[in-house]
Structures are given as structure tokens and as C-alpha cells.
Structure 1
Amino acid sequence: MLAFIESQESLFRLSLFFGIFAVMAFAEWRYPRRPLTVSKSKRWFNNIALTLLNTALLRAVFPLAAAGFALWCRDNGIGLFNQIAAPQWLTILVCIVALDGIIWFQHRLFHRIPVLWRLHAVHHADRDLDVSSGARFHPIEILLSMVIKVAAIALLGAPAVAVILFEVILSGMALFNHSNVAIPLSVDRWLRLLVVTPDMHRVHHSVHRYESDSNYGFNLAIWDRLFNTYRAQPEGGHDGMTIGIKSHRDEKQVIWLTGLLTLPFHLFSRQPKKKTEKHI
């Protein structure tokens, strides 16, 4: 199975991505958590266009991609797990968890450093949250994220199959936890002990900075609890909360592709972070 994943990377990735996207799109249509405030077709057209642009750009700038770079590291003995002997299952597990932690730290960094926040604001400026939001990022942020990822791969000596599995899990979980699907509270309460749920991540997309600077995780829920950035619920409740960036509500700037590409270059500052209570 692992050999198949490595040899059929593109088929494996695309099948799971489109499969998860379709499942979550159906689920949020059938069981919506919140009413949408903006035309869905308009948002989807531009969010998907941005995703396709990012995919093409990544392939052009990083033709080997992350998995190809992992193979190069293996052939040249670069990284921890290319220097020590360890069971394959343990190596894969440790690398997936470590890469998830690094992505969590990267996400927090993009909130803390103003120039990085300008890029990440493209993701947060979406005025609704659904499955199409899960891959909505500025192209420069995507490129920077890949640089950080390949540095982490080189440090860990992560095997290609671990990298592929991590990226598939991460993209699948991003589609899941950005979706507008209603999950029973009793299920959500237990599920979020392990992974980031839609209700947990929705708090992160609040217009209030004291809420958006929490719940940074995309996959494993442990990091926010470990580093004290976990917030259980939005102050106004999920039905009453406002999603997006308070200073950026114009459709031309936060929905249309041209606006998304130029948004980081418009001057704006984040509102002060006032409240500290977590409502845990």
C-alpha cells in the first residue's frame, strides 16, 4: 500500500482531495451549520480559481514538490531519519506529527508578524466559511509555506510516503474543518479532543482578534491545548458570530480573484487584542 501511494502520488492526492471535497460539499448543503451571507457561486468561483492558480504556481516553482525533495534527501543522507535506523511505521508516524506541529507554529507566526499577516489575511477575509475556504490562500503564502515545509523535511529526513500522507491528511482536514457542516454537539465534544472540528476552527475566523488568535490547528487538536491557544466557543455563539476581517468587507476586495491577489498590498492594521479569557 505504501509503495502504491509513493508510485501513484498524483492519483492518490487528486482522488482523495476531490472525494473529500465532494463529501463535505454535500454534507454542508444537506446539514448546514450557518446561513451563508454571500453568493455561494461567486465565492466558489473565485476561491477555486485561486486554488488552481496556486497549484500551477507550486508546480512551476517547485517541480519536484515536497515528496520529490524527500526522495532527494533520502538519496543524499540528509535529515534525522536518514541517519538513524527506526521502524518504518514509527518514522512515518513521528514525521506526520512533527510536520503537523511545524505547520501549527507556522500558522501562529503568520498571525504574529505583520508582513506575514498581510498575506494570511487573504484566507481570513472570506466573509463566509465553507469547504471552498479550506484552500483559499495567497500565492506568496503558499510559496513561503512550501519553503518552510521543505526545510522541515530536510531536518527530519522524512520519507516521501510520510510527506505524501501528511499533505493529503492536512488538505483533507482543512476541507473538513472549514466546512459549514453541522455536527452534533455530543459528537463534536469528543471529536475535538483528537482533531480540529468545524466548530472549533470557526472560532479562528471570527472578526474579533481575541478569537481569531486562537485555535490555530488544522489537523491535530493537541497543539492549541498544549500552547494555551485553545478557545472552546465564540463569545457570541456560532450563529451570532461574524466571520472575516472587520476592516475588509467590500466584495471586490475579499471575494473577487483580483482583489484577493492585491489585498496584502493595501495598508491596514489589525484591531487590538483585548480579551484574554478562553471560555474553556
Structure 2
Amino acid sequence: METVIRLSVALGIFCIMIVWEYLCPRRTHHISRKQRWSVNLGLAAFNIAIMRLSLGGIAYLSAVTAAGQGYGLLNWLAAPEWLSVIVTLLFLDFAIYCQHIVSHKWPLLWRLHQVHHTDLEFDATTAVRFHPLEIMISMLYKVLCIALIGANPWAVIAFEIILNGAATFNHSNIDIPSAIDKKLRRLIITPDMHRIHHSTVPAETDSNYGFSISCWDRLCRTYVAEPKQPQTAMDIGLKPFREQHELGFMQLLLLPFKALRKR
């Protein structure tokens, strides 16, 4: 049931964002949707199948197990329900922020994470362009975090829904008026803010690591407000890959096992 809820909400948000992109795009794309979407959505379907056959539902089950066995910080302290929900959501969001930074700094993890950054355009489908090994490692990392904190099981489900929805939103190619965008950034990650993270400029790629709330980038000084080039003209992706055609499905699966290119 937990998986059905997450996938249903994720699909609903995705449909809303692609319609919004079509009606009110922020940037003009030069690579066809047919060429990119077949790869990105193919990866998404493949990852869902892999997770269903391996680690599907393990995050929620680990939280239930922690609660039943009484281990993890929140369970040791017998925190009230409302506090355990808030702490779980904030702790897991910060944990994913930290994981994202490590995925850029540690060459072994960057081999996997670069698959996400090889997309030469930026829209809602970019949010699901991940290598299956990175998805699995990320899930095991979340399980560890859940066990350490003694995460609230219902908050874990909520976090997974928020994470998927926020990623789809902040990767979308939607046009939000500048004045509204600045106000939204005080709390959440907007597409204009996260698009900077997908810039070909290394200093910009190494910024704006957050996925849902924007405070971590500000507190940890990884926040960049504006790119060097205009949002509508900045190059997206990694420079070495902009010199060749969009990578195919099998090329992305094999990419981490090839010689690592300098960013």
C-alpha cells in the first residue's frame, strides 16, 4: 500500500508539471522530448522495476522495525508523535542534502551521479534520470539514517512523497515570475534555483544541493542566487557531454564503468 500511495502521488505531480511546462515553459529546448523522454522515462521504469524486486518498501519497513524494537534516538527518548514527525522530516531532508554533496565530491559516487547531470536539457523528466545503482545506494543510506534517528514510520512515507514531488517540481521547465520565485526560495527549492546546480559552470554545479527546503544551502554556504549566464540561455549538463549527442539508455547504464571524465 505504501508503494502504491507514493507512486500514485508521484505520477499525479509529474502529470501536472509536464502540462505546466507545455503551457508555460521557462526555456526553449533544442533537443526533442521524444529523444530525451524515452531515455529518462526508460530509466525511471527500469529503476522502479529494480527497486520492486530488491529494496522496495524497505525504508518504511525499517522505520516500523525501529519503532517495534525501540531503537533509534527518537524511540530511546520516547519523543511525542508530533515531535518525531518534525524531527524525522528535517533530519532526512538534511541527510539527503549531505548525500548529494558527497555524490559530487567522492569520485566513486560521482561516477553514478554524473548520469543525472548528463541531461543536456532541464525538465520534469530530469528528476528521474538516475543510475539504478545510485538509487539503491541512496535507499540503503536512508535506511541507515532511519535506524539511527528512530524515524517515525508515517513521516518516512511523507518524506518519500515530499522528496519525489519536490524533485519533480524543482527540475521542471516552468516559468515562475521572478518576484514570486524570490519569495518561494525563502522556504523551498524553486526550478530557477535548482537549475543553477545543472549549469556547465563547475562553481555553479557545486551549489544549490537542496531538494525540498532551501535553508540547508544558505546555512552551509552552498547557495548561489543567480547563474553567470541568464537562466534562459545558460548551458545545461556537463561540458564534455555537450560535445556529443544525447546519450542513450544503455550508454547511461554503462557510463559509470567507463573512464571518469574531468568535470
* Alignment TM-score, normalising by the size of structure 1: 0.91
Instruction: State the identity %.
Output: 45
1:184 maps to: 177
Q: 1:245-260 alignment to 2 at 5 Å?
A: 245-249=238-242, 250-251=244-245, 254-260=246-252
User: Alignment partner for residue 211 of structure 1, among 175, 183, 204?
Assistant: 204
Shift of 1:266: 2.1
Shift of 1:157: 0.5
Determine whether 1:23 maps to 2:16: yes
Shift of 1:39: 1.2
Determine whether 1:270 maps to 2:262: yes
1:130-188: CA deviation from partner (whole Å, max 9, x where unpaired): 00011111111111101110000000110211110001000000000000000000100
Shift of 1:76: 1.5
Tell me, in whole angstroms, the C-alpha distance in 1 between the residues paired with 2:224 and 2:35: 31
2:137 maps to: 144
2:33 maps to: 40
1:53 maps to: 46
- 57-66 or 183-192: which moved more? 57-66
Contact 1:200–1:232 (CA under 8 A) maintained in structure 2: yes
1:36-78: CA deviation from partner (whole Å, max 9, x where unpaired): 1211012111111111111121222214421011111212212
User: What code does the residue aligned with 2:208 have?
Assistant: N
1:233 maps to: 226
- 86-95 or 123-132: which moved more? 86-95
2:64 maps to: 71
Contact 2:2–2:57 (CA under 8 A) maintained in structure 1: no
Determine whether 1:164 maps to 2:124: no
For the aligned residues, what is the CA RMSD?
Answer: 1.2
**Structure 1: gaps (5+ residues):** 1-7, 272-280
Tell me, in whole angstroms, the C-alpha distance in 2 between the residues paired with 1:270 and 1:229: 21
Tell me, in whole angstroms, the C-alpha distance in 2 between the residues paired with 1:134 and 1:62: 20
User: Alignment partner for residue 105 of structure 2, among 89, 112, 116?
Assistant: 112
1:204-224: CA deviation from partner (whole Å, max 9, x where unpaired): 000111110000001110011
- 240-249 or 78-87: which moved more? 78-87
User: What code does the residue aligned with 2:65 have?
Assistant: W
Shift of 1:13: 1.2
Tell me, in whole angstroms, the C-alpha distance in 1 between the residues paired with 2:196 and 2:34: 24
Contact 1:195–1:220 (CA under 8 A) maintained in structure 2: yes
Shift of 1:11: 3.3
1:202 maps to: 195
Contact 2:196–2:208 (CA under 8 A) maintained in structure 1: yes
Equivalenced residue count is 262
User: What code does the residue aligned with 1:141 have?
Assistant: E
* Alignment TM-score, normalising by the size of structure 2: 0.96
Report SS of the residue matched to 1:235.
Answer: coil
Tell me, in whole angstroms, the C-alpha distance in 2 between the residues paired with 1:223 and 1:134: 20
**Structure 2: gaps (5+ residues):** none
1:3 maps to: none
- 234-243 or 260-269: which moved more? 260-269
- 86-95 or 170-179: which moved more? 86-95
Shift of 1:12: 2.1
Contact 1:37–1:127 (CA under 8 A) maintained in structure 2: no
Tell me, in whole angstroms, the C-alpha distance in 1 between the residues paired with 2:180 and 2:2: 33
Tell me, in whole angstroms, the C-alpha distance in 1 between the residues paired with 2:58 and 2:29: 35
Contact 1:42–1:255 (CA under 8 A) maintained in structure 2: no
Shift of 1:89: 1.6
Tell me, in whole angstroms, the C-alpha distance in 2 between the residues paired with 1:136 and 1:83: 38
